[in-house]
Amino acid sequence: MAQWHNLEESMKRMSDRKISLTLNGREISETVEPRLHLADFLRHTLGATGTHLGCEHGVCGACTVNVDGEAIRSCLMFAVQADGKNIITIEGISNTDGTLHPIQEAFRHHHGLQCGFCTSGMIITLDAFLKKHPNPTEVEIRSAISGNICRCTGYQSIVAAALEAAGNLKKQEV
Ligand code: FES
Ligand code: FES
């Protein structure tokens, strides 16, 4: 029995892969099992627990992180696929002086969260969306977050926050 266990362990070690990536501006190198998904890697290996896991099969959007500028469901991506990528999670979204990002500030202002379980995924999704669509309509915002499920807010306050954030982000650019 112990032999089987040792064999299993050494086979597992043989298939492990070394990956390097940037997480919220910090360079990281780790050895990971090929089957480990990115969300578990972020949460369990790196301690970035602001990324939440709901469905774990690509439906709820709670696990959304930014990978090289795109909002990605981290439960559908393996950690090994993040090799060489630049990843931003909710822990890395605030301003460098520690103040809230304009989207976070707008969520606070409009009460865009209740339990907060969906919020990190919502904010990461909206951040990627607003960078590409700085003048969104309400319909476009609703479409952008249509893959992010919120069980609490009814979405009204989230949409209001997103519209306000879009306006404030534009003002920042001027
Ligand atoms: S946990 Fe990834 S989409 Fe639900
Ligand atoms: S605030 Fe509770 S799920 Fe969205």
The model's pLDDT over 133-172, given as tens digits with 9 standing for 90+, comes to: 999 999 999 999 999 999 999 999 999 999 999 999 998 8
Nearest CA among 130, 132, 126 for reference residue 148: 126
Mean pLDDT in the chain? 94
Q: How far away, in angstroms, is 154 Cα from ligand 2 center? A: 9
Q: Which residues line ligand 2 (CB under 6 A)?
A: 113-119, 150-153
> Which residue's alpha carbon is at the smallest distance from atom 4 of ligand 2?
150
Three-state DSSP at 69 gives coil
Q: Which residues contact 56 (CB under 8 A, 6 or more apart)?
A: 39, 63, 75
Place of tokens 């606070």: 108
d(CA 143, CA 155): 12
The protein residue with its alpha carbon nearest to ligand 2, atom 2, reads 115
Burial class (CB in 10 A: 0-12, 13-18, 19+), 145: buried
Distance (Å, rounded) from C-alpha 5 to C-alpha 3? 5
- 102-173 — its CATH code? 1.10.150.120
Q: How confident is the model at residue 11 (pLDDT cuts 50, 70, 90)?
A: low
55-81 average pLDDT score: 98
DSSP for 20-67, written as a single string: EEEETTEEEEEEE-TT-BHHHIIIIIS--TTS--SSSSSSS-TTEEEE
Which residue ranges make up each domain of the chain? 17-92, 102-173
pLDDT tens per residue across span 24-51:
999 999 999 999 999 999 999 999 999 9
The secondary structure of residue 99, as a DSSP letter, is: P
Span from the CA of 62 to the centroid of ligand 2 (angstroms):
9
* Ligand with the closest atom to the CA of 72: 1
pLDDT-derived band at 12, boundaries 50, 70, 90: low
Sign, Cα dihedral of 59, 112, 51, 151:
negative
Question: Over 90: is that where the pLDDT of 2 sits?
Answer: no
What pLDDT, on a 0 to 100 scale, did the predictor assign at position 96?
A: 86
Mean pLDDT, rounded, for 73-100: 96
Please state the pTM of the whole predicted model: 0.92
pLDDT of residue 79: 98
* C-beta 65 within 6 A of ligand 1: no
- Topology, domain 17-92: Ubiquitin-like (UB roll) (3.10.20)
- What percent of the chain has a predicted confidence (pLDDT) above 90? 86
Tell me how far the alpha carbon of residue 114 lies from the centroid of ligand 2, in angstroms.
5
* pLDDT of 3 above 80: no
